[in-house]
């Protein structure tokens, strides 16, 4: 539990800092990096991240992607054939990427263009195997009014992020917040 407490403290210190206006899109992305085994602990304490954000005088909008794939698949007209032959799903995953990005875009719009807002995205682990988080960020980064905060279950080493500790990672310029 101490690691989540330390993340909350680190975030509280960071979010209270003055923000530089006019940053490039990748510089507006923050990753809370935590051990994948702490997913449930983190979810139980999301309200503390929100409290830190509002104490800093910033707006908070939460976007949950946990059920995004299930909702997308459940409404897909070819879902039964994908269940019978999951290999065929590969073709449709580009549509899922758009669907997931639209969920985040809706949250970004809910921030109302407020440059002091934080749009927090959790449920990234549920994207694993269907979509890369780097792709999600790429699709929405140009629309971030304030900051995009992504709760990231995985690792960050020397600028390389690995969702769910996967072997393949990517080098991204987001600001990591770690314990």
Instruction: Determine whether 174 is exposed, middle or buried from the number of CB atoms within 10 Å of its CB (0-12, 13-18, 19+).
Output: buried
Record the tokens describing residue 97, joined without a space.
């990427």
List the one residue out of 40, 109, 41, 102 whose CA is nearest residue 71.
102
Q: Can you give the pLDDT at residue 170?
A: 66
Question: What is the span of the domain harbouring residue 162?
Answer: 2-177
List average pLDDT for each run of 10 residues in the chain, which is 179 residues long: 88 96 92 95 98 98 97 88 82 94 98 96 94 94 96 88 75 84
Q: How many domains would you assign to the chain?
A: 1
| Triad 23, 159, 125: Cα angle to 5° | 95
Cα–Cα dist 9/11, whole Å = 5
| Triad 64, 68, 69: Cα angle to 5° | 150
């Amino acid at each position: 539990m101490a690691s989540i407490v330390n993340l909350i403290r680190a975030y509280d210190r960071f979010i209270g800092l003055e923000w530089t206006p006019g940053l490039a899109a990748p510089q507006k992305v923050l990753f809370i990096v935590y051990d994948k085994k702490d997913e449930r602990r983190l979810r139980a304490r999301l309200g503390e991240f929100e409290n830190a954000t509002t104490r800093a005088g910033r707006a908070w909008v939460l976007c949950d992607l946990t059920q995004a794939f299930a909702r997308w698949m459940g409404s897909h007209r070819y879902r039964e054939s994908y269940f019978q032959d999951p290999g065929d799903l590969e073709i449709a995953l580009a549509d899922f990427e758009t669907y997931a990005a639209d969920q985040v875009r809706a949250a970004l719009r809910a921030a109302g263009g407020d440059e002091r807002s934080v749009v927090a995205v959790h449920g990234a682990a549920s994207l694993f195997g269907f979509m890369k988080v780097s792709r999600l960020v790429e699709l929405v980064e140009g629309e971030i009014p304030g900051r995009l905060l992504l709760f990231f279950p995985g690792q960050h080493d020397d600028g390389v992020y690995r969702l769910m500790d996967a072997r393949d990672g990517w080098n991204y310029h987001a600001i990591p917040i770690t314990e």
